[in-house]
């Protein structure tokens, strides 16, 4: 028998904090008022349809009813998943870095990038206007967060 999944439903206050975090970091203005936001044991954030809002116990694993869009790291900074960056990143006005073709090739292979900019913390990465993910910029580089199973090993 599978272990019961630890799930927390975000309160209005937590949803407002999530909106504030997105606005402060990326300049994104969004309201999660009518959305259901769930947090699982490892601080992973999921968004799902309002029909699950009043449910105390979910009939399915959260992965089957919601979309994983990010998580809070150990320092309570919001790191967006690839899908989260794609969902919210189109409205980002700050901490967005444009990759050239060579950087993109390294990125999708899971390689950390050299970076000489002044941004530190999580950044949304784009290539020719397309959002390709989220990484953590630090002095000298961008830490790659592309999961191993999603990396592309060989390019044509």
* pLDDT more than 70, % of the chain: 87
Location of structure tokens 């790659």: 144
Q: Could you tell me the two tokens for 105?
A: 């090739």
> Which domains, ranges and CATH numbers included, belong to the chain?
1-73 (no CATH), 95-156 (2.30.130.60)
- Residues in CB range of 82: below 8 A, 6 or more apart: 132, 133, 134, 146, 150
Query: Would you tell me how many other CB atoms lie within 10 Å of the CB of residue 99?
Result: 21
Assess contact for 113 and 144: CB atoms under 8 A. Answer: yes
The per-residue pLDDT for range 64-112, each reduced to its tens digit, is: 678 999 999 888 899 999 999 999 999 999 999 999 999 999 999 999 9
Q: What mean pLDDT value characterizes the chain?
A: 88
In this predicted structure, what is the pLDDT of residue 72? 93
In this predicted structure, what is the pLDDT of residue 119? 79
- What is the C-alpha to C-alpha distance for residues 100 and 78, in angstroms, rounded to an integer? 25
In this predicted structure, what is the pLDDT of residue 69? 97
Beta strand 78-80 with 113-115: parallel, antiparallel or unpaired? unpaired
pLDDT over 50 at 1, yes or no: no
The per-residue pLDDT for range 40-52, each reduced to its tens digit, is: 878 899 998 777 6
148 pLDDT tier (thresholds 50, 70, 90): confident
Entry field: residues in the chain: 156
Query: Would you tell me how many other CB atoms lie within 10 Å of the CB of residue 155?
Result: 8
- What is the C-alpha to C-alpha distance for residues 32 and 22, in angstroms, rounded to an integer? 11
Q: What is the CA radius of gyration of the chain?
A: 17
Query: What is the pTM (predicted TM-score) of this model?
Result: 0.87
- What is the C-alpha to C-alpha distance for residues 22 and 14, in angstroms, rounded to an integer? 12
């Amino acid at each position: 028998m599978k272990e019961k999944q630890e799930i927390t439903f975000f309160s209005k206050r937590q949803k407002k904090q999530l909106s504030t975090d997105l606005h402060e970091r990326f300049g994104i203005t969004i309201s999660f008022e009518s959305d259901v936001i769930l947090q699982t044991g490892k601080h992973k954030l999921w968004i799902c349809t309002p029909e699950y809002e009043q449910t105390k116990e979910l009939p399915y694993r959260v992965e089957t009813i919601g979309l994983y869009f990010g998580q809070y790291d150990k320092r309570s900074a919001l790191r967006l998943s690839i899908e989260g960056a794609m969902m919210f990143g189109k409205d980002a006005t700050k901490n967005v870095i444009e990759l050239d073709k060579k950087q993109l090739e390294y990125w999708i292979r899971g390689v950390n990038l050299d970076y000489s900019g002044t941004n530190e913390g999580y950044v949304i990465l784009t290539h020719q206007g397309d959002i390709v993910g989220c990484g953590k910029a630090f002095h000298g580089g961008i830490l790659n967060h592309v999961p191993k199973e999603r990396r592309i090993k060989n390019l044509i």
